[in-house]
Structure 1
Amino acid sequence: MMKHLHVWLSLIEEVVKAKPAIGARILLYTKTAHRWGYVEVISLNPLIDVTARTWG
């Protein structure tokens, strides 16, 4: 998983340069999702069975 970290960081960096506020939100949400995933011990493909109908 960490082998692709540089790819994600470069993508976020480009957004931060163009739109700092949006980049900050993306980073915040990414960190929140990572913490949630770490606590819940999610699988590598956690959204495979999730569809729009999952939430109604």
Structure 2
Amino acid sequence: MLGDDRAATDLVQPSARALPGERGSYGGRPRNAHQVEARTAGLISVDRRHRAHAGLRVTDVYT
């Protein structure tokens, strides 16, 4: 979750946990969004080129 209000992002995290296999974590201020979006665009490019289902897993992050 990205946001200026940490309390608001903490409020939304249970919604992410309600999805099977998902977990929300605080990603910082909205100015970090360009990094998140760029990573998503890269994964889509890999999927199209290799006809795959690429993903990104961040490990050892404790909230």
Greater share of helix residues, 1 or 2? 1
Q: Which has the higher contact order (CA 8 A, sep 6+)?
A: 2
Report the TM-score when normalising by structure 2: 0.37
